[in-house]
Amino acid sequence: MPPKFKAPRGTRDQLPADMATWRALEDNARRLAGLYGYRPIETPIFEDSKVFERGIGEVTDIVEKELFRVRSPGSEEDRWALRPEPTAGICRAYVEHGMHTLPQPVKLTTWGPMFRYDRPQAGRYRQFWQFDVEAIGDAGPAIDAEIIELAYRYLREAGVMDVELHLNSIGDGTCRPAFIAALVEHMSRFAAELPELDRHRLEANPLRVLDTKNPRTLELLAGAPRIADYLCDPCREHWDGLLAHLDALGVPVTPAPMLVRGLDYYTRTAFEFYQRGAQGQQSALGGGGRYDGLIELFGAKPTPGIGFGLGIDRIALLVSETRDSALASAHPVAIVVGADPAATAARLKLATELRAAGVAASADLAQRTLSRQLERAAREGAHFAVVVGDELEQGEVQLRDLDAGTQRLTKVADLSRELLRAHGSHRHG
């Protein structure tokens, strides 16, 4: 029979077999961010929709089409929305909690699910995870290089081969308007040839035309003005400084003159990561940029910031093929089995004592024969079976090494120490 219910379209269950890679990615995210001095923050997974409308921009795919809006019971309006990305919420929290009084920059990191109502396909989900890092209160460019190198290192340590950093400057409020005017002038000449979507973008948010996937628009863009030719002196200095710092850190750069990112609040530095040779939007493993205009939008004094979000689902897809999943998955050290199928209390008590002593142990609590219990212990991949029998009255059990096929009588009092020692030397040496 087909199952009656399935996970919602665009979402996935992370089954225990997937979680080994996932956990390793999460542990390393927390470890690396900590090493670099980024402190953990958690913000709600839903916010006032205005936080996203304001902080991401009303004329972006994310806000126009992809926001999961939430209506509270009895209300007529969708006041809330599930977060499509973490930066807006983190900046809202920075302002709300007066973090401008802390030593700057405030370095923050988070890990968690994001939600976008997009058309699902491989590598694109409606619920997906990001590892996110933000530095608020430093105008750069050295901090830009630090944060980019952190993302680069993370991807390499995760096992992504040939990480490619695509880097651009999108200028700021001083120089970008002249570039946009020149872009609009150039592209308007071909307005009749543009597809509907790009015509809309050209009118509503022209920079986003550079994001196009349409082949004809791409052809027309080949002859369009380049932002690099329009940067004002401070933006050019920032760009040169960033390149020098990345060079000092040994991070190779692929200039990406068309890279603008879909979010309005970005200034100057914009970047994305790819695996070399991979094509197309779905292959971006993460991206980020400078958002010097964002904090101000939340009602605080102008404060610079930079951050990135890495797409964990895509990274996991790439690296799970190369990782030794057997090594990473958790098998119990010991399973407590017994000659008397009905004596579940004795087995459970012994397993509980072993766990209290730090041994990954479980008890077979089904009332089945000893040989069935042993079969299951082997299938679970346990290293040892602890066999409870009549010897328990003398404070002893049989300790069977399922890997070696040996068995000996062991005192219950020595059991946890024995298991930890034997398991440690077996698996690591």
Q: Figure out which of the listed residues 116, 176, 201, 268 binds ligand AMP, where binding follows CB under 6 A.
A: 116
138 vs 211 by CB, closer to ligand AMP? 211
Minimum Å gap between C-beta 166 and ligand AMP is 11
134 vs 396 by CB, closer to ligand AMP? 134
| Number of residues counted as binding ligand AMP (CB under 6 A) | 16
* Stretch of residues binding ligand AMP (CB under 6 A), selected from 1-9, 30-38, 125-133, 185-193: 125-133
Q: Figure out which of the listed residues 46, 68, 128, 190 binds ligand AMP, where binding follows CB under 6 A.
A: 128
Residue 210 binding ligand AMP, by CB under 6 A: no
Minimum Å gap between C-beta 2 and ligand AMP is 26
Residue 284 binding ligand AMP, by CB under 6 A: yes
123 vs 206 by CB, closer to ligand AMP? 123
Residues 360-389 that bind ligand AMP (CB under 6 A): none
Q: Figure out which of the listed residues 23, 30, 124, 236 binds ligand AMP, where binding follows CB under 6 A.
A: 124
* Stretch of residues binding ligand AMP (CB under 6 A), selected from 51-59, 93-101, 116-124, 421-429: 116-124
* Stretch of residues binding ligand AMP (CB under 6 A), selected from 119-127, 134-142, 189-197, 394-402: 119-127
The two three-digit tokens of residue 164, written as one number: 């490619």
67 vs 194 by CB, closer to ligand AMP? 67
Q: Are 88 and 53 in contact (CB under 8 A)?
A: no
7 vs 248 by CB, closer to ligand AMP? 7
Q: Figure out which of the listed residues 105, 140, 304, 309 binds ligand AMP, where binding follows CB under 6 A.
A: 309
Residues 28-87 that bind ligand AMP (CB under 6 A): 85
CA angle 39, 41, 47 (to 5 degrees): 155
Minimum Å gap between C-beta 171 and ligand AMP is 19
Minimum Å gap between C-beta 12 and ligand AMP is 10
Minimum Å gap between C-beta 225 and ligand AMP is 24
225 vs 309 by CB, closer to ligand AMP? 309
Distances in whole angstroms, Cα of residue 201 to Cα of each of 189, 260, 268:
15, 13, 21
Minimum Å gap between C-beta 10 and ligand AMP is 8
Give the C-alpha separation, 370 to 32, whole Å.
46
Residue 285 binding ligand AMP, by CB under 6 A: yes
Secondary structure of the chain as H, E, C letters = CCCCCCCCCCCCCCCHHHHHHHHHHHHHHHHHHHHCCCEECCCCCEEEHHHHHHHHCCCCHHHHCCCCEECCCCCCCCCEEECCCCHHHHHHHHHHCCHHHCCCCEEEEEEEEEECCCCCECCECCEEEEEEEEEECCCCCHHHHHHHHHHHHHHHHHCCCCEEEEEEECCCCCCHHHHHHHHHHHHHCCHHHCCHHHHHHHHHCHHHHHHCCCHHHHHHHCCCCCHHHCCCHHHHHHHHHHHHHHHHHCCCCEECCCCCCCCCCCEEEEEEEEECCCCCHHHCCEEEEECCCHHHHCCCCCCCEEEEEEEHHHHHHHHHCCCCHHHHCCCCCEEEEECCCCCHHHHHHHHHHHHHCCCCEEECCCCCCHHHHHHHHHHCCCCEEEEECHHHHHCEEEEEECCCCEEEEEEHHHHHHHHHHHHHHHHHC
The two three-digit tokens of residue 414, written as one number: 């020595």
Residue 311 binding ligand AMP, by CB under 6 A: yes
Q: Are 406 and 426 in contact (CB under 8 A)?
A: no
Q: Figure out which of the listed residues 134, 313, 364, 396 binds ligand AMP, where binding follows CB under 6 A.
A: 313
85 vs 138 by CB, closer to ligand AMP? 85
118 vs 418 by CB, closer to ligand AMP? 118
Residue 151 binding ligand AMP, by CB under 6 A: no
Residue type, 343: A
Give the C-alpha separation, 311 to 22, whole Å.
12
89 vs 311 by CB, closer to ligand AMP? 311
**Residue numbers of the site for ligand AMP (CB under 6 A)?**
85, 116, 118, 123-125, 128, 130, 284-287, 309, 311, 313-314
